[in-house]
A = this chain, B = another copy of it.
Amino acid sequence: MLKQQRVVIGNISPHVECGAFFVKRVVGEEVNIIADVLGDGHDVIQAEVQFKHETAKDYTLIRMHHLGNDVYGATFQVDKQGFYEYNVRAWVDHALNWQHGIHAKLKDRQHVKSELLDGIQYLQYLAKNVGSKEQADLELWMQHFGDEAHYDSATKIATSHKLENLFLRYPQRFLANTGKSLQLYVDRKKANFSTWYEFFPRSASPEVGRHGTFKDCEPLLPRIAEMGFDVLYFPPIHPIGEKNRKGKNNATHAEEGDSGVPWAIGSKLGGHTAIHPELGTEEDFKELIKKAQEHRIEIAIDLAFQAAPDHPYISEHPEWFRKRPDGTIQYAENPPKKYQDIVNFYFESTAYKALWKELLDVTLHWVNCGITIFRVDNPHTKPYYFWHWLIAQVKKKHPDVLFLAEAFSRPKVMQQLAKQGFSQSYTYFTWRIFKNELIEYMTELTQSEMREYYRPNFWPNTPDINPYHLQGANEAMHLIRYTLAATLCGNLGIYGPVFEFMISDAFPGKEEYLNSEKYEIRHWDWNLKNKLIYVISKINAERRAHESLQQTNNIRFCEINNDRLIAFYKWNDKKTDETLTIINLDHHYAHRGSVQLPLEALGVHHGHPIEVYDVITNNNYIWHSEWNFIELHPALPFHIFHIKK
């Protein structure tokens, strides 16, 4: 094939694995497109980004600028949810090249009569495309270009910005080349900014020993709303298997009256579309969802695609499970370990299509109840392509629905799930404690390809993870971990009320809670107030007030000369909101240090006064230097500074 184009385009970014997966954004975010664009020789080339939403008929075009080293860039903002397509088109711009050449020759004091004649063709092209007002100008210019008597006026026009702008507005795009198209998917803002609270509804009862109900949850909504949470996540709300039910503290066998593990779903009382009768009815649940919405809270439920041995599916659809040679169902295993209270779906079954469809129907059942966010249990034990299909199917009709992947696994596994479509993902944050590892991990999340498709959600604790550093830890440690999650990441969550009540008794030698709610009903005094609750509420309020804290990728760590102090600058895309956060990672002692302001990023020169306003204490400081003194005490071990220039 004889391709006559003289411009080549390559390495269009952003992309995820060369376009195998779509890039992710949320409404209002910017997309910075860059690409290598080269022409042969030295003629002036031009490049533009073409992009359009899936519902748009035509492309929107934005001219790119040369950023150096043959890299061209342009930025656009995405305003709608759904898919966008984007690519790069480029060409040798003969009009601009002609103008560049004539300018250089005039500077060199050469006579350009021939060049002016040569330029008439570019004016002719413009004349065919401009409005009538500019037509007249062009007619005149074309005359002057061909008339030696008007040489001076012709050369002035030839090198004018007015003419340049016409060339930019009406490019001829002769022999234009177009690069490979790429896709991005835009979610609602909640995907990038959400503040999660998890508790067990069955522990919501004000009466000791009674199983909590959805109705019991309703009076808890105000406290959760006041604390500033906007997602309320429940572990599975379905009937719990009775066969092989586990007992307290993960005992292999349940005692009489033990409530079992919510993730062991299904019994004669129903399966994944049923509600545990002791929690209430579906009407109770819808009522709770509605009340939560009034508090601007979305209820998120747990999608745990597995079955207890007495789940209705086992008898109704044996073809969805793997049988052992002796005819019994194969329960979950990771040899030599056995998990007798769980049976995994058999995705390799020839009946997989019906299985996929059923699981989609289950999901849609809850969407139709009013659920817009799902936390997905152990997605890495189900096929990747299944999730891709399920998420795509749901979002086709319900684009608002978000999926959080709970996969604590190897890095590539967690990344793959995000690539396949999960809106958010749990992370290794829970085990990143020291300054160096926090910076290293944030750098990976926000500077590698992960920034384009992996939306982290930072959880200081979960029902499965009572990290060693929180076991028996003081208030300062809880403050530190909450603040880190809430300021580093756009999405975070806590498992309460054990977190804010600082109830961290552990199962000896494990990162597990003692007498964990996973295995038994607990009773909490939900009215308890403490300083941690107050500070969490303040922090969450400030997250809502500052766009720079409503995202994760725009972060830059600042030098601060103390290894227990971590400092970082965050900004929203348009830099109308900028914050500087400093946290003392030492839960026992005060620390001092000097923090370096990122003057260049802030766009200010040395000596320009910067006001930093502590959004928690309402104290403010005026800084005139690049380096500034910081002292933080465990009683309130952080500054969240709003930067005012």
Q: Which residues of A contact B (CB under 8 A)?
A: 1-6, 8, 10-11, 17-20, 36, 38, 40-42, 69-70, 92, 100-105, 107-108, 110, 114, 117-118, 120, 174-175, 180, 324-326, 333-336, 344, 347-348, 352-353, 356, 380-385, 389, 410-413, 416
Contacts and interface: CB of A to CB of B under 8 A. Distances in A.
A384 B104 contact: no
B38 A416 contact: yes
A416 B36 CA distance: 10
The DSSP consensus for interface residues of chain A is mixed
Q: Kindly report how many copies of this chain are found in the complex they form together.
A: 2
Going nearest first, the 8 A-B pairs with the smallest beta carbon separation are A18-B18, A108-B336, A117-B325, A104-B335, A101-B335, A70-B412, A3-B385, A41-B381
A382 B326 CA distance: 73
Contact of A104 (B336, B380, B412): B336
A363 to B, nearest CB: 15
A413 B6 contact: no
A335 B333 CA distance: 74
A92 to B, nearest CB: 8
A416 B9 CA distance: 10
Given A10-B20, A325-B117, A347-B4, A384 B40 contact: yes
A348 B6 contact: yes
A347 B385 contact: no
A412 B347 contact: no
A102 to B, nearest CB: 8
A409 to B, nearest CB: 10
Given A38-B412, A324-B118, A410-B69, A336 B107 contact: yes
A304 B92 CA distance: 23
Contact of A381 (B18, B40, B180, B380): B40
Given A18-B18, A333-B101, A114 B325 contact: yes
Contact of A36 (B10, B100, B353, B412): B412
A8 B416 contact: yes
A16 to B, nearest CB: 10
Contacts of A8: 384-385, 416
Nearest to A102: B335
Contacts of A19: 18
A344 B380 CA distance: 60
Contacts of A3: 385, 389
